């Protein structure tokens, strides 16, 4: 490659009419006699390259025709505007050099099952979907940092090894720390509270660990969380901070990653509505909503919609299966096979929703004050709202030890969860912190925690205690909501779940 200046696909727009060289991988190809169409990807985008017989030596033409998916190569050609091309430009090839010819790449353009793709994550990262998610994740994390940096927050790196439980004892990953028991951190919050008493407004951002045995679409055992903590703030102040923060990061992704959102089929018009103020409900209002007629009617309507959707999918499947019986070109057959795999996945998901609808309706109707909101309760509430919903003032016994008791009603705490809309559910959990020494001590005992582990945490309530609070936003859940990915394991390059630690 020496001597040639390499151009990136994302820069082709600056080179119309010029001859350039790209270095990348063969994403897909097809040939029809004297013409070959090679789709090349180079990390910045995709480009269709057109190769005419005679424009390169016959031997090279032949090698390119047989070149396997994901082979690496350089291609040289003239940049031509082309409306039908993915990036708006195509390359009319005059030369190519094969760097490494790949054979039998296991992930073909046809659809594959989820488990297969997870076992091939090291290669699946090259797919358009994973590429798009990585780009969006990058923007989101950059926006998270920008928001706090530009609003007077100081970054504090909190430890990953901890001596005490940050949230609960159930989901602790325990380990042996030179003969002493220790854990992987569940949250940076407690350490961050110390820093807030020094710097006022602080945030931490890093991986957090929870030994979650549930294999739901919302749980990883290792996930990334950003947590701001602010001295002298009340619950209203926290809600305002959270809504301006979420609106900011969503707007940034919309501005930067529209093509990627389109590739993923994200609901862009809904994302454009994510502006303050968000909805606010107390837990008690949420409980009334769940057990009321409005929810009953909403779920009944939803069941009808699901049944209609099921009939539509079945009709489409029957139609495609009939077409498979007719003589077709290979590429057309492959296209139909891929669509059928997607439709059958869709059908299975719709069936599961139809089956779950009455269960969710029963759970909602039986909801009683005092229970934490379950996954299905959150789904229902968030499906009934177009914008994110804050649920505040949960029962004290359902929540973590550090949350401040509402002085006007000691059965509830000054906390909130933020539920993303369209059924996604919780993306943020936060609260005002108990700042009274005796009440905090009593809560530690009540939750069965050892007060000796929390001496330093209690000290904050001994020396200049102030009202303060903060929250934590889960990065993978936020990406799943924004992109419309059903499972958060797609939203981190190498997901960790109870049964997955292979790659
Ligand atoms: O609600 P959580 O447990 O709150 C805390 O950890 C507080 N200490 C935060 C704070 O006030 N500083 O977790 C916060 C968020 C959740 O809303 C969710 O987005 C994410 O972290 N989260 C998970 N994401 C993926 N997998 C899991 N197992 C998660 N558990 C929590
Ligand atoms: Mg929570």
Task: Compute φ and ψ for 69, nearest 5 degrees.
Answer: -55, 140
Residue in 427, 429, 475 to alter for ligand 1 test, most ligand atoms within 8 A of Cβ: 429
What is the reported pLDDT for 49? 96
Q: What pTM was estimated for this model as a whole? A: 0.93
Q: Is the CB of 223 under 6 A from ligand 1?
A: yes
Taking the C-alpha atoms of residue 243 and residue 389, their distance in angstroms, rounded to an integer, is 10
In this prediction, residue 503 carries a pLDDT of 85
Q: Maximum Cα–Cα distance for the chain, whole Å?
A: 86
Contact of 54 with 65, CB cutoff 8 Å: no
β-pair type (425-432, 389-392):
unpaired
**How confident is the model at residue 92, as a pLDDT?**
96
Cβ(220) – ligand 1 distance below 6 Å: yes
Residue with the two structure tokens 């050609």: 77
Residue 83's pLDDT is 81
Q: How much is the pLDDT for 2?
A: 47
As given in the structure block, the two tokens for residue 307 are: 């049944």
The whole-number pLDDT of residue 338 equals 82
Beta carbon of 219 within 6 Å of any ligand 1 atom: yes
Nearest-atom number in ligand 1 for the CA of 166 is: 8
User: Which segments in the chain show pLDDT lower than 70?
Assistant: 1-4, 109-110
The whole-number pLDDT of residue 4 equals 57
CB 281 within 8 A of CB 368: no
Q: How far apart are CA 409 and CA 119, in angstroms?
A: 51
Q: What is the pLDDT of residue 333?
A: 87
- pLDDT recorded at residue 19: 96
Q: Pairing between strand 279-282 and 222-231?
A: unpaired
- Closest atom of ligand 1 to 478 CA is 19
Distance CA 329, CA 88 (A): 27
Of all ligands present, the nearest one to the C-alpha of 477 is 1
Report the alpha-carbon distance of residue 346 to residue 371 in Å, rounded.
Answer: 33
**Ligand 1: which of 215, 221, 223 to mutate, most ligand atoms within 8 Å of CB?**
223
What is the whole-number distance in angstroms between the Cα of residue 268 and the centre of ligand 1? Answer: 25
């Amino acid at each position: 490659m020496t001597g040639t200046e390499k151009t990136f696909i994302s820069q082709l727009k600056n080179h119309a009419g010029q001859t350039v060289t790209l270095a990348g991988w063969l994403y897909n190809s097809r040939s029809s006699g004297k013409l070959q169409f090679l789709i090349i990807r180079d990390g910045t985008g995709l480009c269709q390259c057109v190769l005419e017989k005679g424009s390169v030596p016959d031997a090279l033409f032949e090698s390119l025709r047989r070149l396997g998916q994901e082979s690496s190569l350089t291609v040289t050609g003239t940049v031509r505007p082309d409306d039908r091309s993915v990036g708006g430009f195509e390359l009319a090839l005059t030369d190519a050099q094969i760097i490494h010819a790949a054979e039998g790449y296991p992930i073909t353009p046809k659809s594959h099952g989820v488990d297969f793709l997870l076992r091939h994550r090291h290669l699946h990262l090259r797919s358009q979907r994973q590429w798009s998610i990585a780009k969006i994740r990058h923007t989101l994390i950059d926006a998270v940092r920008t928001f706090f940096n530009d609003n007077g927050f100081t970054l504090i790196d909190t430890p990953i090894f901890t001596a005490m439980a940050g949230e609960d004892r159930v989901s602790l990953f325990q380990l042996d720390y030179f003969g002493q028991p220790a854990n992987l951190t569940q949250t940076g919050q407690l350490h961050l509270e110390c820093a807030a008493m020094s710097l006022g407004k602080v945030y931490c951002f890093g991986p957090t660990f929870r030994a979650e045995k549930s294999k739901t679409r919302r749980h990883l055992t290792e996930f990334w969380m950003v947590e701001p903590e602010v001295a002298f703030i009340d619950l209203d102040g926290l809600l305002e901070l959270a809504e301006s923060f979420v609106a900011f990061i969503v707007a940034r992704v919309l501005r930067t990653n529209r093509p990627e959102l389109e590739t993923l089929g994200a609901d862009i018009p809904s994302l454009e509505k994510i502006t303050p103020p968000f909805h606010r409900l107390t837990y008690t209002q949420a409980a009334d909503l769940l057990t009321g007629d409005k929810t009953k009617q909403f779920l009944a309507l939803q069941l009808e919609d699901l049944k209609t959707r099921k009939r539509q999918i079945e009709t489409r499947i029957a139609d495609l299966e009939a077409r498979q019986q007719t003589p077709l070109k290979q590429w057309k057959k492959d296209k139909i096979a891929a669509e059928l795999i997607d439709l059958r996945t869709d059908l299975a998901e719709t069936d599961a929703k139809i089956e779950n609808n009455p269960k969710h309706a029963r759970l909602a109707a039986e909801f009683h004050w005092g229970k934490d909101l379950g996954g299905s309760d959150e789904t229902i509430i968030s499906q009934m709202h177009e914008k994110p919903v804050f649920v505040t003032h949960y029962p004290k016994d359902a929540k973590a030890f550090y949350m401040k008791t509402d002085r006007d009603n000691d059965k509830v705490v000054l906390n909130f969860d933020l539920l993303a809309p369209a059924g996604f559910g919780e993306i943020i959990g936060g609260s005002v912190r108990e700042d009274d020494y005796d009440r905090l001590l009593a809560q530690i005992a009540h939750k069965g925690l050892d007060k000796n582990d929390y001496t330093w945490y209690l000290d904050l309530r001994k020396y200049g205690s102030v009202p303060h609070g903060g929250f934590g936003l889960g990065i993978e859940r936020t990406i799943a909501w924004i992109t419309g990915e059903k499972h958060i394991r797609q939203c981190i390059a190498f997901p960790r779940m109870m049964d997955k630690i292979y790659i």
